Structure 1
Amino acid sequence: MAEKVLFSWIGDTDLRAAISDMPLDAPISSTLANFSFDRVILLCSYPKARSAPYIDWLRRQTADAIESYQETLVSPVDFESIFHAADKHLSAFKKANADISILLSPGTPAMQAIWILLGKTKYSARFYQSSKEQGVQEVKIPFEISAEYTPPATKLTTTQLTELTNDGVSSNAAFENIITQNPVMQRLKYQAEILAKREVPVLIQGETGTGKELFARAIHNASSRADKPFVAVNCGAFPSELVDSMLFGHKKGAFTGASADRQGYFQQANGGTLFLDEFGELEPSVQVRLLRVLQEGVITPVGAVKEESVNVRIITATHRNLMQAIHDGHFREDLFYRVAVGVLSLPPLRERQGDIALLADALLMDMAKQDVALINKKISANAKNIILSQLWPGNIRELRSTLLRASLWSSEDAISADDIKLALFDRPQNNASLLDKDISQGIDIQNIISDLVRHYIPKALAHSNGSKSKAAELLGLKNYQTLTNWMDKYDVK
């Protein structure tokens, strides 16, 4: 059974109840006298000198486990600081699948508004209120809302989102096609626009489905090579025996089956841009030959005796950690530094605060261009809440395919929460591979710890916009110095 947890701010009436000679109808103590919870999480913005005696008093009034946390707010009516304080504590219990309840009565109207916003969207909470006239009761909020925290950002461009599925990026993709209101993505768009005006090689890093080709095409289309070819190549699909022919071309009769001259990708992209997707999949032998081309600007087609000059701008993309691949001896360091001049690291969709619901609407609108049945289709508030609660490991590509499946099941004007649930796939948990290793064969526990540290510290730093103090708090570490020590120990850049 899920743990029952009650959340509340501590109000002035609650504090006075502990020192009053007369019994007061204080919201928290009244609620705990009428309802039982496994844990009670109390947030307090009053000085600890006032809250500590109250907590001691309250623990004597109830058998429920009481936990209190001091929260420093800009003011008791500052929505942003109240949001961050409440969301931080609620999120910890959502991960544990707790049965969350919220007491609305204590605190300022701004605190109550944030409780309702979070409890109706991200956390599916029960609500309680306490008053002298009505006593303590569970209340129903008779409306549905969908909301996502949106950090401050520049004004959103309203140009429609283009295809983001594999092989679906529009040939005339531009930076306006990259829909976002997330500050990190806004900065990446700005950096990409600068790179478009330069002739330097570009490396785009990011998980599968984050829009690497969309960025590559936008850079090409905004560059001086826009009227020249853009050739996209999947390096993971190279047959080892044909890779030279595919990249550099061949002459007739060069090998069995070579019935005519054939241009390679470098020749096809001459004067324009060659986009090498899945760059981290290149075999070591291919890396050597590619390095020579990038250094000297010449190729030799298979079967030819003379070199040919090529003028190609290289944009590469990978979902792999190439620095780790270099460390492991799987990727050439000299090739990496040849292509990694302008580097863009695209965040996964789950880290793009403010963008998920925005992209869902834009993707559905884009699909309506191809299917007239979707022209007036909307996404309901409850469906958006389901969408916002997902991690989207497949990123934008997964979101698009999920919406497409949901639209097939939907028979109403709006895609419902049930439609989205039917369209989602059940994913196996990753804990088995981490926690169920065969100890009889021996394990390297230091490597396991190192992998976890290198995975989560960069995510925490990205989420906290580089603040080590906030990242340490997210990771449960004592302070930023502890975080720094971990980064030094495990060589986290």
Structure 2
Amino acid sequence: MTTNNNTLLCWHSKRAGVEVLVEAIKCLKNRRVLINRAIVLVQTDTDSSLYLNHEFGDIGLRFITASLENPANHNEIYQRLETSVLPELKDVANLHINVSPGTPAMHAVWLILHARGHFPSGTKLWSSQFNPDTKRTSISSVDFNVNTYLAEISAISNSEGSYALYGVDPKSAARREALATLKEFAQVPKAPLLVLGERGTGKTRLIESVVGIVKQKKVVTLACGGLDSQVVDSMLFGHVKGAFTGAETQRSGLLREAEGKVLFLDEIQDLPTSVQRKLVRVLQDNHHYYRSVGSDKEETSDFELVCASNKTIKELATTLDADFFDRISMLTITIPPLRICREDLLDDWQKIWGEVNVNPSLPKHAPTSRQLNKLLESSSLAGNLRDLKKLAFITCAYMNSYSPTEALSKAICSLQAFDDIEENEGTKFSFGDLSNTTKDELDKLFKYELARAAKRQFGTWSNAGKNLQVDQKTLQKYMKNDS
């Protein structure tokens, strides 16, 4: 018989809640699944009181209130489970779910959540049925192993030692649209994909996970920054022995390694122009013809190209070779910065905490506070995920000497002090000696400082404009020191 700790989760059944749970536990025991704990989702305290008069032996019983106005509304059920139940299941090992109790809509939502990878790894679904003829209950496993790309992404994000990824169901419209577009574009075979976004928005993580999973191909990555043209030539195209000084052996190159895979060129703006010109020839058709350095033999490689940059599309258009830019920018997606996706920031904070906190003596769940909420509501978070990561590292350090709340508070102060230093270093003006300052200069200075303070307090130009009842373009104009 299975001796591992097993948890059974189910909705309370209105007509025979206690009996349904008891019979399911018995049936699972017959299948060598010993349930040690049961979690029952109820709508009211009255529902949970029905279980108090029954003896469950050594099985621990827990109730989670998940009130619903309409138990037949799929959207309401999904949202309630997402907000009230899923956070309670993150650390549950050996989870079993009886999908039968409740309405047909509840049954369907269990299947959807399972397919999207929302439950802990290894979760099993069961369906219990009462036969009125034999007066007996049977239970069978639910054969619904739909392997969606969302489930694979969740598995990567939740795996031990892995890095944090954006949630597969973002709350903000901007992130939801961006991830949906990324998936749609990644499904187009052979089409180069360009992913843009500020530093720290997780472009590399998304490409190496979402794009690779959607295409069902391994991602071969080259970071283009800081490499001269000869080094990149050799790394990408390979070289023959004796092609240049130091080429003592033959090298295949990443184009060959990327055969049947995805070639990912990160920081594409730093790719030397001479290499861009050589890639123009490679990208002319799907055969991808190229020559290794020093070779007179032309080869082909069947790879798909993805590029990324923290520059804007306009900046890349003037930085990159025109022909190369045209070929890589046919499908372009921009990952929005965190300040545009504030509804997702608490979830992002929890995921980053899970990545950074590897100390078993510290809390698994990220500490929160009103001060943190204020930070996430107003900070520009110029470093995006890197700012959250920095905050998590500092908090972990302070937790050796302070309570979680105190450690978080000190970490937030440290992060804000660092941001102030960075911002002050970039300030063009200061209120120093104003004796020789003209009225026009004072007017410009006041407007600049007003725009600067508003942007810092409200996080985005749009929020700043709404709160000050000023057009956001006017504030941006002030920040540029234009009259």
Q: How high is the TM-score relative to the length of structure 2?
A: 0.53
Tell me the SS of whatever aligns to 1:394: coil
Tell me the SS of whatever aligns to 1:338: helix
Counterpart Cα distance in 2 of 1:270 and 1:262: 15
Aligned CA distance change for structure 1 residues 432 and 211 (closer, same or farther; 3 Å): closer
- Could you tell me which residue of structure 2 aligns to residue 381 of structure 1? 369
Is 1:365 equivalent to 2:354 in the alignment? yes
Q: Which amino acid aligns with 1:427?
A: I
C-alpha deviation, 1:206, in angstroms: 0.6
C-alpha deviation, 1:353, in angstroms: 2.2
C-alpha deviation, 1:422, in angstroms: 2.9
Q: Is the 8 A contact 2:167 2:347 kept in 1?
A: no
Aligned CA distance change for structure 1 residues 221 and 393 (closer, same or farther; 3 Å): same
Tell me the SS of whatever aligns to 1:399: helix
Aligned CA distance change for structure 1 residues 387 and 162 (closer, same or farther; 3 Å): farther
The number of aligned residues is 295
- Could you tell me which residue of structure 2 aligns to residue 428 of structure 1? 422
C-alpha deviation, 1:301, in angstroms: 0.6
Counterpart Cα distance in 1 of 2:242 and 2:168: 46
Is 1:417 equivalent to 2:409 in the alignment? yes
Residue of structure 1 aligned with 2:300, choices 309, 312, 316: 309
Counterpart Cα distance in 1 of 2:238 and 2:311: 28
Aligned CA distance change for structure 1 residues 366 and 325 (closer, same or farther; 3 Å): closer
Counterpart Cα distance in 1 of 2:227 and 2:353: 34
Question: What are the residue-to-residue correspondences of 1:61-80 with 2, within 5 Å?
Answer: none
Counterpart Cα distance in 2 of 1:261 and 1:169: 35
Aligned CA distance change for structure 1 residues 222 and 463 (closer, same or farther; 3 Å): farther
C-alpha deviation, 1:474, in angstroms: 3.6
Counterpart Cα distance in 2 of 1:408 and 1:383: 18
Aligned CA distance change for structure 1 residues 349 and 197 (closer, same or farther; 3 Å): same
Q: Is the 8 A contact 2:197 2:335 kept in 1?
A: yes
Q: Is the 8 A contact 1:322 1:331 kept in 2?
A: no
Tell me the SS of whatever aligns to 1:213: helix
Counterpart Cα distance in 1 of 2:409 and 2:212: 39
Q: Which amino acid aligns with 1:223?
A: V
Q: Which amino acid aligns with 1:287?
A: Q
Deviating beyond 4 angstroms after TM superposition, the runs of 4 or more aligned structure 1 residues are 155-164, 176-179, 430-436, 462-465, 468-473
- Could you tell me which residue of structure 2 aligns to residue 287 of structure 1? 276
Residue of structure 1 aligned with 2:196, choices 173, 192, 205: 205
- Could you tell me which residue of structure 2 aligns to residue 113 of structure 1? none
Is 1:180 equivalent to 2:170 in the alignment? yes
Counterpart Cα distance in 2 of 1:434 and 1:400: 29
Gaps of 5+ in 1: 1-154, 437-447, 487-493
- Could you tell me which residue of structure 2 aligns to residue 401 of structure 1? 390
Is 1:262 equivalent to 2:251 in the alignment? yes
C-alpha deviation, 1:293, in angstroms: 1.2
Counterpart Cα distance in 1 of 2:467 and 2:328: 33
Counterpart Cα distance in 2 of 1:350 and 1:158: 25
Aligned CA distance change for structure 1 residues 198 and 377 (closer, same or farther; 3 Å): closer
Q: Is the 8 A contact 1:248 1:302 kept in 2?
A: yes
Q: Is the 8 A contact 2:229 2:274 kept in 1?
A: no
Q: Which amino acid aligns with 1:384?
A: L
Counterpart Cα distance in 1 of 2:422 and 2:356: 29
Question: What are the residue-to-residue correspondences of 1:84-123 with 2, within 5 Å?
Answer: none
- Could you tell me which residue of structure 2 aligns to residue 475 of structure 1? 472
C-alpha deviation, 1:315, in angstroms: 0.5
For the aligned residues, what is the CA RMSD?
4.0
Counterpart Cα distance in 1 of 2:155 and 2:341: 16
Counterpart Cα distance in 1 of 2:389 and 2:118: 19
Aligned CA distance change for structure 1 residues 307 and 472 (closer, same or farther; 3 Å): farther
Tell me the SS of whatever aligns to 2:343: coil
Q: Which amino acid aligns with 1:215?
A: L
Aligned CA distance change for structure 1 residues 213 and 177 (closer, same or farther; 3 Å): farther
Query: How big is each residue's C-alpha offset from its partner over 1:372-396, in whole Å with a ceiling of 9 and x where there is no partner?
Result: 1234454131341353232211110
Query: How big is each residue's C-alpha offset from its partner over 1:457-486, in whole Å with a ceiling of 9 and x where there is no partner?
Result: xxx9x9769xx99999542659xxxx9xx9
Tell me the SS of whatever aligns to 1:360: helix
Counterpart Cα distance in 2 of 1:373 and 1:294: 52
Counterpart Cα distance in 2 of 1:336 and 1:203: 10
Q: Which amino acid aligns with 1:419?
A: A
Residue of structure 2 aligned with 1:248, choices 219, 237, 258: 237
Counterpart Cα distance in 1 of 2:315 and 2:263: 25
- Could you tell me which residue of structure 1 aligns to residue 183 of structure 2? 193
C-alpha deviation, 1:273, in angstroms: 0.3
Aligned CA distance change for structure 1 residues 293 and 400 (closer, same or farther; 3 Å): same
Q: Which amino acid aligns with 1:298?
A: Y
Question: What are the residue-to-residue correspondences of 1:227-246 with 2, within 5 Å?
Answer: 228-246=217-235
Tell me the SS of whatever aligns to 2:230: coil
Q: Is the 8 A contact 1:193 1:222 kept in 2?
A: no
C-alpha deviation, 1:317, in angstroms: 0.5
Q: Which amino acid aligns with 1:190?
A: A
Tell me the SS of whatever aligns to 2:355: helix
Tell me the SS of whatever aligns to 1:295: coil
Q: Which amino acid aligns with 2:317?
A: I
Aligned CA distance change for structure 1 residues 304 and 471 (closer, same or farther; 3 Å): farther
Residue of structure 2 aligned with 1:335, choices 305, 324, 329: 324
Query: How big is each residue's C-alpha offset from its partner over 1:402-435, in whole Å with a ceiling of 9 and x where there is no partner?
Result: 2112111123244431232235524333685655
C-alpha deviation, 1:269, in angstroms: 0.9
C-alpha deviation, 1:361, in angstroms: 1.8
After TM superposition, the structure 1 stretch with the greater mean CA deviation from structure 2, 311-320 or 411-420, is 411-420
Percent identical among aligned pairs is: 26
Tell me the SS of whatever aligns to 1:253: coil
Counterpart Cα distance in 1 of 2:117 and 2:173: 14
Q: Which amino acid aligns with 1:285?
A: S
Counterpart Cα distance in 2 of 1:472 and 1:281: 41
Q: Is the 8 A contact 1:201 1:314 kept in 2?
A: yes
C-alpha deviation, 1:239, in angstroms: 2.2
- Could you tell me which residue of structure 2 aligns to residue 276 of structure 1? 265
Is 1:346 equivalent to 2:335 in the alignment? yes
- Could you tell me which residue of structure 2 aligns to residue 214 of structure 1? 205
Q: Which amino acid aligns with 1:317?
A: A
Q: Which amino acid aligns with 1:213?
A: T
Tell me the SS of whatever aligns to 1:422: helix
